[in-house]
Amino acid sequence: MKLMMTAALCAVMSAPAFAQQTLEFEGMNWRVDAVELAETTEFLGRDALHFRDGVIWIDGSQLATGEIRFEMAISGSPGHTGVLWRGQGVGDWEKFYFRHHLNNLPDSVQYTPAHDGVTAWQVFSDPDAISQVNHGLNRWMEVRVVVAEDQADIFMDGQLIHHVPDLQREERSGWVGFWQLAPSGAASGYVRNVEITPQSNPQIIGRSERPMAEPVAHRVETWRVSDPFSEDRLGDTPFETLRASRSRWTALPVAYNDIANLASVTRHSQGDTVLAEATLIADGDRTALVRFGYSDRVQVFLNGERLFVGNNDWRSRDYRYLGTITRHVAVPLSLRDGENTLTFAVSETFGGWGVTAALEDADGVRIAR
């Protein structure tokens, strides 16, 4: 394995707090946080680093922009195996991965950011985040990831297979590694011949696959997001008391898909629920409709009165249900003259912590900015 870096980028980053062990492979030290295993082995006639159900990363690696090249093989199903870059610590990174069990289907590969261990595949499920790829199993793939500021191109065997036009984490140098998830214990990832090349201005050739669309009228563009707390408090604390106890509020603009990725401004390890608010200003008493989506669970309040409770968890409806976020729920709002506070208490288990909302039948109503 080759690791090529400029002197400025060679400073060793402090190891993420979840480090469990180290492993030497191809002359480099790897940090390992694997639930089941990480070992050197031979696979399909080649020496490889074999890992399952965890994270491995190259000790001392640093990349902000540039290229990552490697050979990868994936085996077993169901499973997920991918590459991480700009790693900052416990569960904070950019990620692109292959879904073993969805080969050549519309979402066979996925881009997602991660914040404090919360990935966002339920938040980002559009053509700029997923692609149909015939990656197969039990074969060696040559993979190249080109990272340039807020974009990335991913190549497999010399062909561009996915373009990310809007990376969701900040442009910041961090470690490079790999991730694997084996839900039933049958899947594995194998990697070898990793080459990291920092570059100041790498060439991006991909273009967005997202269809052009007119902006949604009367959508919430910026949310006020509270500090996190336990979902249990929604059941044992009066809403106004709970709201008044929040000590920090952060303005969060929505992403390109009109969804607010709540994990990007809070820490799930400190609580699984936040309040996300918008102020609606009505010209006189009137009724409007709010259409919204969320993940994973929500309670909706207008001026402190609970209007809706819902569950959009993965598999909450049937075993095929993904829980991705679309504005599929509509609730009428009885607005009073002047300012009204619309609050979504959004709780997260895994897969994506987000909310989106837009008003319909909203003549005489505006959303404060």
pLDDT by 10-residue block (mean), the chain, 369 residues:
32 38 92 84 97 94 97 96 93 97 97 96 96 97 97 98 97 96 93 97 92 82 98 94 96 97 96 98 97 98 97 90 94 97 97 97 92
| Token output for 239 | 């809403």
Integer Cα distance of 303 and 99 in angstroms: 43
| Domains detected in the chain | 2-198 (2.60.120.560), 222-367 (2.60.120)
User: Residue 21's pLDDT is what?
Assistant: 83
User: Residue 320's pLDDT is what?
Assistant: 86
User: Residue 90's pLDDT is what?
Assistant: 72
Q: 7-23 burial string, b = 16+ CB within 10 Å, else e?
A: eebeeebeebeeeeeeb
User: Residue 20's pLDDT is what?
Assistant: 59
Beta carbons of 143 and 154 less than 8 angstroms apart: yes
User: Residue 214's pLDDT is what?
Assistant: 74
SS (H, E, C) the chain: CEECCCHHHCCCCCCCCCCCEEEEECCEEEEEEEEEEEEEEEECCEEEEEEEEEEEEECCCCECCEEEEEEEEEECCCCEEEEEEEEEECCEEEEEEEEHHHCCCCCCEEEEEEECCEECCCCCCCCCCEECCCCCCCCCEEEEEEEECCEEEEEECCEEEEEECCCCCCCCCEEEEEEEECCCCCCEEEEEEEEEEECCCCCCCCCCCCCCCCCCCCECCEEEEECCECCCHHHHCCHHHHHHCCCCEEEEECCCCCCEEHHHHCCHHHCCEEEEEEEEEECCCEEEEEEEEEECEEEEEECCEEEEEEECCCCCCCCCCCCCCCCCEEEEEEECCEEEEEEEEEECCCCCCEEEEEEECCCCEEECC
User: Residue 16's pLDDT is what?
Assistant: 40
